[in-house]
Amino acid sequence: MIVEKNTTPVVFAVSDSIGETAELVTRAAMIQFNSGHVEIRRIPYVTDEEYAREVIEEAKEVENCAIVCTIILPEVRHYIINLARENNIPIVDLMGPMMDTLSKITDLKPKLEPGLVHKIDEDYFRKMEAIEFAVKYDDGKDPRGLSRADVVLIGVSRTSKTPLALYLAHKRLKVANLPLVPEVTPPDELFELPPRTVIGLTITPEKLNEIRQERLKALGLSSDASYASPERIQKEIEYAETIMKKIGCPRIDVSNKAVEEIATRILEIIRKGEF
């Protein structure tokens, strides 16, 4: 590395990941001095001794500097710490003491994988995005979401489409769901999807009648409503079957199955490409 002489104090934020933590801790400390006259140079992905040596060589070119490191890999961390001390460069190791302490109180060994924090953060945001997607495109609210979904669930009312969409969202899948009602023609977008992205949820007339009767009871409505009549249920089921056959999508009978069991089957279909 070719570096010009610099009289401004420099803190090297060194990491075997992206270096964000080292920089944030440095900035938090700088606030206590009410001074912006310190340059922070973030140096990420220091994963071997050769690169660590280059960091020290760069630091030696600066008249007034320090190193703050968040290096997980023990051999690289020890190497840069020893080399910095040999060259009288102040160095703060943020991760070593913390991991040593946690190992003592938990009797566990660290994974020693750089970048795990960011993997966890990315996983969290993917999950939140999938949950927001499931809510936004629930119950056919916006057919434009169908083409953006990883999975589209279709079926008559009370076939667990919404709880399944939210359950699968926690598996980082973007799921839209669409009710099939004889009086409402499905959007064109549904028939333009690859069959492998659509899952048809079926149910026996007897089980659907039972579920709908309970639903009416919970709402304080009469059990004589057409919503739960055998004739209405049969009509809806036959209509849904026609749509599913037209699409050519895989189908799952959700009668007497828990959401977790159905979701597991959906994940298997996606993984194996069963369609």
**Is 229 part of any known ligand binding site?**
no
Ramachandran assignment for 156, one of left (phi > 0), alpha (psi -120 to 50 degrees), beta (any other): beta
Task: Report how far apart the first and last C-alpha atoms of the chain are (Å, whole number).
Answer: 56
**Is 70 part of any known ligand binding site?**
no
Task: Measure the CA–CA gap between 207 and 102, rounded to whole angstroms.
Answer: 52
Q: Which residues of 5-43 are buried (b: 16+ CB within 10 A; e: fewer)?
A: eeeeebbbbbbbbbbbbbbebbeeeeeeeeeeebebbbb
Do 113 and 72 meet the contact criterion of CB atoms below 8 Å apart? yes
Question: How far, CA to CA in Å, does 91 sit from each of 94, 170, 204?
Answer: 10, 41, 69
**Is 5 part of any known ligand binding site?**
no
Task: Measure the CA–CA gap between 104 and 95, rounded to whole angstroms.
Answer: 14
Task: Measure the CA–CA gap between 31 and 220, rounded to whole angstroms.
Answer: 61
> Closest by alpha carbon to 28, among 45, 16, 46, 40?
40
Task: Measure the CA–CA gap between 112 and 116, rounded to whole angstroms.
Answer: 9
Task: Measure the CA–CA gap between 77 and 55, rounded to whole angstroms.
Answer: 12
**Is 17 part of any known ligand binding site?**
no
**Is 35 part of any known ligand binding site?**
no
Task: Measure the CA–CA gap between 275 and 266, rounded to whole angstroms.
Answer: 11
HSE-up (13 A, CA, CB side) for residue 81: 16
Binding residue ranges:
155-162
Query: Annotated binding site for ADP, which residues?
Result: 155-162
